[in-house]
Structure 1
């Protein structure tokens, strides 16, 4: 019966999210509570919830202060000079424009927010695509590929979800994946170069593209608009750029990234310290700090609230032993010849699963089952979590991702056309990252037993 309750909880959870009957935040709290109570664990649910929330507290703190740190850097205009310089350098050559799009999108994606990446990248680059007659599909494709790779950042979402769902430290999942991310970045630049070369050849023949027309610009465009977006040009003094502190902000950000890679302190502590220093440097007045927090509180609360709600879900799933029951049932279904390769299988499955269902449904509903089954073959939870991340480039093409519609609209392309154009490159990106992970021994090809 425990297995039946377990699968019932996962199915109900996934169905409610996929049909948009409940938000992920609400479903993560209510579904396990109701099912756990019906299964006869009413008196024990409170302790399970607290235990799950406590286990995820470091992840929630890390995400909160990571979002706030990059919010300070964006408002202070740290990247505005780079945007201006990039627009100047790439102007006039389709190959440079495409590669420059990738570089800019990779940089903007550091804040972990896909919508921000899409808005700023298209604002900076769309005028160049229009002026040169380049297909905006290339802009949408390159921007999304870059965002898909950088989505693995801990504050981007999937890594935190995977770590939370399996109860492992974010550092153990993310830091070994850095070389894999580097592989994905190189691949993205290569794809951008290839698409740019294709545009150069097409334009040389006088071809204007499939429809022979260029989309109209939407909203403010050009280097000034892009730089202004980065500088937080809202007319509010509390959010205006801080060009006089550019080098200090750059030094602080580099120091933070180095500290993250070397692991000198836990990620939550590093981001707390970095935010405290950054806000004092750029917005020392208390009123300005309050205004900054008010401006970015919505984004921070949405992400952190989801993490703590996940603590309720995973706490009940683990405390009731439902996850063990599901894992045992999965183990019995896995062919013995396939079991040792379950990490690679998880990586492959993450591609269609994260496309057809949401990240929440996959990481909180499916991954724990696969990870528990992997234990029987000597695969650790951290290794399975890493494997589950490689499908992100394809995930962003899913109609379940609202920011994808934003990107298509900003570029002036049809959503279906964008999917058809980008899908093969996104699939290849996911497979390249999976191959990179296996080659670098970050994702084990075979279990230890």
Structure 2
């Protein structure tokens, strides 16, 4: 094994140890650790700055897209675009456990569009917890449905995992995300089916209660924020809905790069809903708080990847891996990566797996003619149960909101969550997105 390969593997090990032991944030480790190793390997090379800057420039489109996608959906949530649908769901579910379970899944799917898991948990649980408790449903059902649906929706490019894949492999969303949209639909249908089955089980156990005041009860259980109510723009509902549908169509059709689409969309959303400069600035600042942590990490990853590529560490590491894999297994790198991603993203953080492990696997797979796009899609397969990992901070928020034990929650939800990944894997293989 060459010195560069040893340095590369050691750098990834140190990086993963520091972020998993919480001795460094992911953003800090992505910037500082590669610089230390680059200096140790090649000294104060004057090309070091160029390596880092090249890496940052390569991830810039992804950072821009994530930033403005979060801003766009944040503005739409502030303006109340999804409120009528949420209101309809709450009025419809009433006292039927089946309707409550399915309504919970639909609500989680809608709120997950902003790409922030914590927001999804807080909004969905605040709206549905009173109904679940009033009916006496198994307290594990609500958090399980919400987590699984958020796992499915989390592979939108601004949700986190896909953004990391795009940044680490220097790909466009059209290469990775757009082909997986049908897989997201399959995953959503699976979660709805599981919610239906759990609802049937609870209906047979509890029956159906007549809750004529169910919606009022839920509304009363959620404190109304006067400041948030001032931001609602109900008169703009149809314009906002049309703008969002058009944006999604343009996204799928790849009319323009995703970053540009969301930049234009954010500008229009602010102009249409908030006319004064003061209001627009307030919305940018408020929703920017969700965007900055993700975007800053993407740019930090640019430094990591720039140094990995510029110093040729990733080349040396891939050669080591290639030498260790029997030639007969080489053409199966895509499916192997898909299967590895299930435990990989559970026992490692997304940062460790996508920034540390995936680039090395992708470089090795390229020798066998497997594209970076295929490897990126394969690496997302494991996201079905990633959020059940004890390494995901937002999951503790979900557990706390529902007052359930983490271990009980994992046991109840693990197999249905793994099934999401298996369904994705089957779809990807059948459609040729990943080759066996």
Q: For structure 1, which runs of at least 5 residues remain unmatched after alignment? A: 207-219
8 Å contact from structure 2 (residues 97, 208) kept in 1: no
For residue 211 of structure 1, what is the aligned residue in structure 2? none
Matched, 1:166 2:140: no
Q: For structure 2, which runs of at least 5 residues remain unmatched after alignment? A: 210-215
Seen in structure 2, the aligned counterparts of structure 1 residues 227 and 83 have a Cα distance that, compared at 3 Å, is: farther
Seen in structure 2, the aligned counterparts of structure 1 residues 221 and 66 have a Cα distance that, compared at 3 Å, is: farther
Q: State how far apart, in whole Å, the 2-side matches of 1:413 and 1:435 are.
A: 33
Q: State how far apart, in whole Å, the 2-side matches of 1:289 and 1:393 are.
A: 36
Local SS of the residue matching 1:390: helix
For residue 14 of structure 1, what is the aligned residue in structure 2? 16
Q: State how far apart, in whole Å, the 2-side matches of 1:300 and 1:154 are.
A: 13
Local SS of the residue matching 2:381: coil
Q: State how far apart, in whole Å, the 2-side matches of 1:183 and 1:441 are.
A: 16
8 Å contact from structure 2 (residues 96, 208) kept in 1: no
Local SS of the residue matching 1:235: helix
2:96 to 93, 96, 100: 93
Q: Give the superposition deviation at 1:293.
A: 1.7
For residue 39 of structure 2, what is the aligned residue in structure 1? 37
Task: Render the CA deviation track for 1:301-342: whole Å, top value 9, x for unaligned.
Answer: 111101100000000001111111111111111223322111
Matched, 1:119 2:122: yes
Matched, 1:189 2:192: yes
Moved over 3 A (4+): 223-228
8 Å contact from structure 2 (residues 145, 191) kept in 1: yes
275-284 vs 39-48, greater mean Cα deviation: 39-48
Local SS of the residue matching 2:404: coil
Matched, 1:292 2:288: no
8 Å contact from structure 2 (residues 78, 228) kept in 1: no
For residue 218 of structure 2, what is the aligned residue in structure 1? 222
Q: Give the superposition deviation at 1:430.
A: 1.1
Q: What pairs up with 1:31-430 in 2 under 5 angstroms?
A: 31-43=33-45, 44-204=47-207, 222-223=218-219, 233-235=225-227, 240-430=231-421
333-342 vs 426-435, greater mean Cα deviation: 333-342
Task: Render the CA deviation track for 1:63-102: whole Å, top value 9, x for unaligned.
Answer: 1110110110011111111111101111111111111111
149-158 vs 187-196, greater mean Cα deviation: 187-196
Q: State how far apart, in whole Å, the 2-side matches of 1:396 and 1:264 are.
A: 32
Q: State how far apart, in whole Å, the 2-side matches of 1:54 and 1:142 are.
A: 39
Seen in structure 2, the aligned counterparts of structure 1 residues 41 and 201 have a Cα distance that, compared at 3 Å, is: farther
Task: Render the CA deviation track for 1:371-415: whole Å, top value 9, x for unaligned.
Answer: 111112211001000010111121100111111011111112111
Q: State how far apart, in whole Å, the 2-side matches of 1:90 and 1:6 are.
A: 54
Task: Render the CA deviation track for 1:423-449: whole Å, top value 9, x for unaligned.
Answer: 11111111111111111222222xxxx
Q: Give the superposition deviation at 1:203.
A: 2.0
Q: State how far apart, in whole Å, the 2-side matches of 1:403 and 1:234 are.
A: 26
TM-score, normalised relative to structure 1: 0.92
Q: State how far apart, in whole Å, the 2-side matches of 1:37 and 1:299 are.
A: 34
Question: CA RMSD, aligned part only?
Answer: 1.8
Q: State how far apart, in whole Å, the 2-side matches of 1:205 and 1:286 are.
A: 50
Q: Give the superposition deviation at 1:181.
A: 1.1
Local SS of the residue matching 1:222: helix
8 Å contact from structure 1 (residues 327, 372) kept in 2: yes
Q: Give the superposition deviation at 1:225.
A: 6.2
TM-score, normalised relative to structure 2: 0.95
Local SS of the residue matching 2:177: helix
8 Å contact from structure 1 (residues 147, 393) kept in 2: no
Seen in structure 2, the aligned counterparts of structure 1 residues 344 and 416 have a Cα distance that, compared at 3 Å, is: same
